[in-house]
Structure 1
Amino acid sequence: MRTARSHLAPAGIAAVLALTVSATAPAAAEAATTVRPVAAPGAAAAPSVQASHASARDRAYLRQAHRGNLAEIAAGKAALRRSHDKDVREIAWGLIRDHRKLDARLREVAQRLRVDLPDAPAAEQRDDLDAVLARRSGHRFDRAWLRLQADAHEQTLTLIRRELRHGHSGSVRNLARDGAPVVRHHLDEVRAELTRHAR
């Protein structure tokens, strides 16, 4: 009896393995082609086929948003050097703090997706800030600086909306989605301060 079992065991194991492989093959193939849904804002994004690929639009968004963050940080530092208005300086601190945080996340995503980022704001952004800095300090500087920030944040919101509508990568779209309320908050603060300076 022991001899019969020993002869049957390899055949039985082979049959079980064959059934296991045939049963799991479709599931494995399906798992390989399934795109998982994008994680909710603030949640850890699960790895997915969609999140692992950046389209040309996604790459352009990462580079433009990065330049925008660098420009806002530079503008905030300029306001701290030139402005004596308490509220303007408070907005400037907020820009520096929040855009550093946004950019830290952006750089992580760019590195994961192998997207090279520029190391400075765009020439136009630098020229715009230089034009504001050319004005004297005081109210003239504050108004010019606030107008520049209003324009910059409106452009950033347009960039975000475009990425959310047409972007491919879940990771990049999550960045845009999470950044939108921060940028809107900055824009609201800047507009309110511009109204105060117009009185």
Structure 2
Amino acid sequence: MRTARKLATAGMAAVLPLTIAPIATPAQARSQAAPVTAVAPASTALHLSARDKAYLRAAHQGNLAEIAAGQAALRRSRDENVRGIAWRLIRDHRRFDARLREVADRFDVRLPRWPTSEQRDDLREVTDRPGRRFDRAWLRYQEDAHEYALWLGQRELRRGHSAWVKDLARDSAPVVRHHLRVIRAEL
């Protein structure tokens, strides 16, 4: 009984400072307020649909896989064109992923830390090949990955709900199409 009273008193002492806050004047409130960076479109709810969350997670894992594949090409390939494509993929997919993570953070969406096990297995299979066989397999792997990224983005644009997430899909499409053209030109 005595312990319960002590805990109750300690709990009130901890909560009391939180409930009694000094009142700021409007000028103080404006100077202390965080700057407004962007306002969510009116159609955006406070949460995302399951479909929008699934897109964010799949696109994030795709970006992670592309970055890992680009790094593998820089380590393994001696072909300057393949290495150039790898640099471009790393740069662009890091940029996409940074923006994607901002949207995910805004809506408290937890993103996976790694590419899917299938993506990791596919990359491992590609990196097991020697020399020129690696370059060809890597380019085919990139072609498939970018076709999937386009399909994923188009599905989000058709079926997604969040304007924020749809903007990500819409904005990434031209760059992914360009990657695909460059990859196919090299094949």
Scaled to the shorter chain, the TM-score interval is 0.7 to 0.9
Distance 2:148 2:183 in 1: 14
Match status 1:193 vs 2:186:
yes
State the partner residue of 1:119.
113
Structure with greater Cα Rg: 1
Query: Which SS does the other structure have where 1:120 is aligned?
Result: coil
What secondary structure, in the 3-state scheme, does the structure 1 residue paired with 2:111 have? coil
Task: Tell me the equivalent position of 1:34.
Answer: none
**How do residues 35-184 of structure 1 correspond to structure 2 at under 5 angstroms?**
46-52=39-45, 53-136=47-130, 138-184=131-177
How far the C-alpha of 1:99 sits from its partner, in A, is: 0.1
Checking the alignment, whether the CA contact within 8 Å between 1:71 and 1:121 is kept in structure 2 is: yes
- Cα deviation 1:78-116 (Å, max 9, x = unaligned): 000000000000000000000000000000000001110
- Contact persistence 1:164–1:176 (CA under 8 A): yes
C-alpha deviation, 1:50, in angstroms: 2.4
Find the aligned partners of 2:75 and 2:173 in 1 and give their Cα distance.
28
- The amino acid of 1:190's aligned partner reads I
Amino acid corresponding to residue 154 of structure 2 in structure 1:
R
CA-CA distance at 1:45 after TM superposition: 5.8
Q: What's the TM-score once normalised by structure 1's chain length?
A: 0.73
| Displacement after TM superposition at 1:163 (Å) | 0.1
CA RMSD of aligned residues (A): 1.1
Whether the aligned pair in 2 keeps the contact of 1:45 and 1:171 (CA below 8 Å) is: no
Aligned-partner Cα distance in 1 for 2:127–2:116: 17
User: CA-to-partner distance for each residue in 1:125-178, whole Å, 9 max, x for gaps?
Assistant: 000000001111x21110000000000000010000000001000000000000
Whole-angstrom CA distance in 1 between matches of 2:148 and 2:38:
27
For residue 137 of structure 2, give the secondary structure of its aligned residue in structure 1: helix
Q: CA deviation at 1:47?
A: 1.8
Q: Identity across aligned pairs (percent)?
A: 67
Find the aligned partners of 1:48 and 1:98 in 2 and give their Cα distance. Answer: 26
For each residue in 1:21-65, what CA deviation from the matched residue of structure 2 results, as whole angstroms up to 9, or x when unmatched? xxxxxxxxxxxxxxxxxxxxxxx8642342243111000000000
For structure 1, which segment, 171-180 or 50-59, has the greater mean C-alpha deviation from structure 2 after superposition?
50-59
What is the number of residues matched between the two proteins? 150
TM-score w.r.t. length of structure 2: 0.78
